Amino acid sequence: MKKRNLLMSVIILAVSFGISLSSVAEAAEVAYPTKPVQLIIPFPPGGWDLAIRPLADVSESFLGQKIVIVNKPGAASVSGTAEGIKSRPDGYTLFVAGVGAMSLQPHMGKVPYKVPDDFEPVMLLGSNPVMLAVGANTPFKSLEDLVREAKKRPGEVKYGSSAPGSIQHLAVELLSEKANIELSHVPFQGAGPAVTALLGGHIDLCASNPLNLYDHIQSKKFRGIGIFDHKRSPGYPEIPTLKEQGYDLTVTVWFGIAVPKKTPTAIISKIHDAFKKGMESEKFTNQMAQMKQDITYLGPNDFRNFIKEQHDFSGKIISRLKAAGKLQ
């Protein structure tokens, strides 16, 4: 009752002084944030977590409050994503929107949200092309060598990915279609086991995030034979793109920030501006350069369109793989 009386008093005063109610609302929103903000990362520590945490650290000063990281893995990143989407739309719960939960899992089974209708994209933060690496003990010196051998021995060249239906799995199957070859997929429970299998010589090829492969390439345990992009990365310029090797394919592992539906626009703008300044800070750009991580920015509207495009793109590939019996 007291709160309602106070609200009525504010409205009466606003009208008395000729102030619009929208101005009153905007003034209230300016106070955001007045307490720490939670950022849900829907996968375990490591991997993209290594890029998101430094960004949150530098963005705190621009937001004006502590950004508390909470890792909530599960169900191929769907659990944490769903929790973020269903949280209160007050700007105090943000979540990482990534390729798995946004463009892959909705086509693999039922998820408790619609893409991109049930949330508000804030910004794309990072994107890395899928990388291909072979073991140093294999005879393959290039992608051309691998394709040639796969044509001689259909289904005998083995490649690993982090999981069935992962973006890495889809990338290699796209290459197989383009090159008219048949490779044998060996799925693992995560990128780590797939990389370990390549180190042990149990598979011939691994498709993964460059973060998982590049140290082994530099130590000569792996050979990097291609990235799924239209241009070479400044982080690993010696590794050719698939496009320059005759296969015009771009497949990336990406992530960004999103908030629940109905979060006020003014609050979204504040979150966006804080993280954008964090991305542009010298400290963060230096950290990403050391990690050989590409910083990729898209604003709210462009990020929404990007998510929709990636969702539809993955859906078509997954449908083909299911029809061919390569996915359940």
Best CA proximity match to 37, nearest among 81, 75, 80, 90 = 90
* Residue 44, domain member (yes or no): yes
State the residue range of the domain holding 59.
37-127+253-318
Which of 250, 268, 289 lies at the terminal end of a domain, its last residue?
250
- Which pLDDT tens digit goes with each residue over 103-127? 999 999 999 999 999 999 999 998 8
- Which pLDDT tens digit goes with each residue over 166-181? 999 999 999 999 999 9
* Residue 293, domain member (yes or no): yes
In this structure, the answer to whether residues 243 and 258 fall within a common structural domain is: no
In this structure, the answer to whether residues 120 and 137 fall within a common structural domain is: no
pLDDT of 27 over the 50 cut: no
Residue 7 confidence (pLDDT): 45
In this structure, the answer to whether residues 266 and 235 fall within a common structural domain is: no
CB 52 within 8 A of CB 254: no
In this structure, the answer to whether residues 110 and 258 fall within a common structural domain is: yes
In this structure, the answer to whether residues 261 and 189 fall within a common structural domain is: no
CATH of the domain at 147: 3.40.190.10
Residue 66 confidence (pLDDT): 98
Which of 224, 250, 276 lies at the terminal end of a domain, its last residue?
250
pLDDT band at 234; cut points 50, 70, 90 = confident
Residue 135 confidence (pLDDT): 96
**pTM for this entry:** 0.85
CATH of the domain at 53: 3.40.190.150
In this structure, the answer to whether residues 212 and 275 fall within a common structural domain is: no
What are the distances in angstroms from CA 27 to CA 6, 267, 287?
Answer: 16, 12, 37
CB 191 within 8 A of CB 162: yes
In this structure, the answer to whether residues 244 and 261 fall within a common structural domain is: no
Of residues 30 and 165, more confidence is placed in 165
pLDDT of 162 over the 60 cut: yes
Of the chain, the percentage scoring pLDDT greater than 70 comes to 91
- Which pLDDT tens digit goes with each residue over 185-196? 999 988 889 999
Q: Report the distance separating Cα 105 and Cα 126, nearest Å.
A: 20
In this structure, the answer to whether residues 150 and 207 fall within a common structural domain is: yes
In this structure, the answer to whether residues 223 and 303 fall within a common structural domain is: no
* Residue 325, domain member (yes or no): no
Which of 209, 234, 250 lies at the terminal end of a domain, its last residue?
250
Find residue 37's DSSP bridge partners. 67
Q: Report the distance separating Cα 42 and Cα 75, nearest Å.
A: 9
Q: How many independent structural domains does the chain possess?
A: 2
Residue 30 confidence (pLDDT): 55
pLDDT of 25 over the 70 cut: no
In this structure, the answer to whether residues 197 and 86 fall within a common structural domain is: no
